[in-house]
A and B are shown apart, each in its own frame.
Chain A
C-alpha cells in the first residue's frame, strides 16, 4: 500500500541550529513528493514540491529514490519556523494526496 512515514512526532531545536524533518515513502514507480506546513491558527499551505526544486523560506528537500526519502532541511532554524509539517505524495496521475502523520517543529529562542 502507498504510505508516507514521518518517524518524528515532535522535534525541538534551538534558533540558528540546523533542522531536518524526516519523510520516507513506500510507492512503486515515481511518486511526486510535497511538504505542507501549518502555522498556528493558519490553514495548511504548500511549502515545496520536489518537481519544482525550489527553496522556500530557506527550506530544501531532495528526493532520494535509493532510500525512498524526501527529508526537509534548513541550515539555520528560525523561531517563526515553529509549525506542523506534513510530508505528502501522489502517484500515477492520481490527484489523491497521501499524507504522513506530521511532525511538530518547535524552534526555541
Chain B
C-alpha cells in the first residue's frame, strides 16, 4: 500500500493565480481530511470529506477555498486568487471509517510570490 499520496509536493504561484492540490487516499479509505500548517504553527483542520460529500468544512476560509472528493479520482483542494498569506504546507489525511486512525500524506508546500 503506497500510503496517502499528495501532488504536487511543491507548488509556486504568483498572487492572483489558482492553486490546485491533489490527494489520493490510501486504498480502501473513503474519508479524507485536509489540514494547513503555517510556519511555526501546528496543523489546523480545514475540511473533512467523504466520497462526493463535504461532512465538516468548519475550518475552511469563507472565500477563495473549496474542496471536493469526487466518486472517481483524488480529492482536490482549490485555492482561487492566491495571496501571500496562503503560503503554507497543506496536508491530507485519510481513514477507512470515522473514528479510525488518520494516515497523513507528505504534504504540499505552497509558496505564493
Chains A and B bind each other: yes
A→B interface (CB under 8 Å):
4, 6, 36, 43-46, 49, 86, 88, 93-102
Establish whether residues A102 and B42, one from each chain, have CB atoms under 8 Å apart when the complex forms: yes
9 closest Cβ pairs, A-B complex: A99-B42, A44-B104, A96-B45, A101-B42, A99-B43, A43-B106, A95-B48, A43-B104, A100-B42
Q: List 30 A-B contacts (CB under 8 A).
A: A36-B104, A43-B3, A43-B105, A43-B106, A44-B43, A44-B91, A46-B101, A46-B103, A49-B101, A88-B43, A93-B98, A94-B56, A95-B33, A95-B48, A95-B56, A95-B95, A95-B98, A95-B102, A96-B33, A96-B56, A96-B59, A97-B33, A97-B35, A97-B45, A98-B45, A99-B35, A99-B42, A99-B44, A101-B40, A101-B41
| Given contacts A45-B104, A46-B101, A97 and B58 within 8 Å (CB-CB) | no
List, in ascending order, chain A residues with CB within 8 A of B95's CB.
95
B12 an interface residue at 8 Å Cβ cutoff? Answer: no
Q: A6-B42, A36-B104, A97-B45 are in contact. List 4 more A-B contacts (CB 8 A).
A: A46-B101, A86-B42, A93-B99, A94-B56
